[in-house]
Amino acid sequence: MSYRVALNFEDGITRFIDVKDGEKLLDAAYRNKINLPMDCSDGVCGTCKCRCEAGAYELGDEYLDEALTADEAAQGMVLTCQMVLKGDCTIAVPMTSSACKIKPAQQHGSIMEVAQLSPSTILLKLALEQPAEFLAGQYVQLDIHGTGQSRAYSFSTKPGTKEAGFLIRNVPGGRMSGWLSAGAKRGDKMSFTGPFGSFYLRAVERPVLMLAGGTGLAPLLSMLEVLAENGTDQELHLIYGVTRDGDLVETDRLDDLAARLPSFSWTSCVADPQSPHPRKGYVTEHLAGTPVEAGECDVYLCGPPPMVEAVRQSFAVRGFTPSRFLYEKFAVSVAA
């Protein structure tokens, strides 16, 4: 028996390794040529201290309180030299990946589908050579065919499958969207590097509010796919905001997720004041009746920088502090 561990480094790079039943995490990392911080390896110095963000494990009692206090252990801190896994885990490592002698992984595939979902959004689906390894919500650097350049996009699909989906904003003059619109065809080879990022799904322990702006919907779809597969009784609500009516995409998929996950609901809003949509304006104007009003909840937010800042300011005005507030800003890139 073995367990899968995601090691998240402070520079945003994630690497996955297998840990054998009964094996110490530090030993497994070194077996995989990953030099996690360590000094004594006996539970004495505390140099190997990391944080377990998800998963089951045991530490035993063969370490000194000076290396790991009871308060730290209660907050999820672990000594990797003493940690024995009892399930898959996610570990936050307080060092850069380069300091631990690793590089981002590269994955390869070919185009299955390119679809213009709306004037502003392109759907890209890839068939991969190996199942995609990432945490739901993370992104990769997707290579632009024949240019030597890359762009960052979040997965819209769930981890662990040989199909990868992305929502690409259709940007006038954009290298990626321009190639996908004009030159890409089924079977074209593509590759990406990653995964990256600290914006990923954590354990659902309380109600969750998700806020998406435009193609910022993609990582939240990935999270919802995982939740629909694993199940949760916690209330989940998504507010999906776009500029114009035609920018709304993947609504059938959201309805399907709501059918598969009874605790999930979603609404949309359109910023265009001329829109016939029943909910006009920005996401910050439609927080009534969401977990925000109930008090304690986690918030996941992905959208352009102005949207992220507007939400942060709205929470400050309300005097609302989420139990956990995870957000990711994205900006578009165009050819010089």
Contact by Cβ (8 Å): 331, 305? yes
Highest mean pLDDT among 96-100, 125-129, 145-149, 200-204: 125-129
Q: Check residue 132 and give its pLDDT.
A: 93
pLDDT > 50? residue 336? no
Contact by Cβ (8 Å): 76, 88? no
**Beta-carbon count within 10 A of 119 CB:** 10
Helix 251-260 and helix 217-230: axis angle, to 10°? 20
Give the CATH number of domain 106-196.
2.40.30.10
Contact by Cβ (8 Å): 190, 110? yes
Contact by Cβ (8 Å): 87, 151? no
CATH topology agreement for domains 2-95 and 106-196? no
Domain at 208-329, CATH from 3.40.50.80, 3.40.190.170, 3.40.462.20, 1.20.1260.120: 3.40.50.80
pLDDT tens digit sequence for 163-189 = 999 999 998 888 999 999 888 999 999
Strand partners, 115: 123
pLDDT tens digit sequence for 263-298 = 999 999 999 999 999 999 999 999 888 887 767 899
Model pTM score: 0.89
Fold for 2-95, please state it.
Ubiquitin-like (UB roll) (3.10.20)
Q: Check residue 334 and give its pLDDT.
A: 41
pLDDT tens digit sequence for 21-57 = 999 999 999 999 999 988 888 899 999 999 999 999 9
pLDDT tens digit sequence for 307-334 = 999 999 999 988 888 989 999 977 655 4
pLDDT band at 77 (very low <50, low <70, confident <90, very high): very high
User: Measured between alpha carbons, how far is 124 from 122 in angstroms, rounded to an integer?
Assistant: 6
Contacts of 65 (CB under 8 A, 6+ apart): none
Q: Token match 């920018």: residue?
A: 247
Q: What is the DSSP letter of 155?
A: B
Q: Check residue 331 and give its pLDDT.
A: 62
Structural domain boundaries in the chain: 2-95, 106-196, 208-329
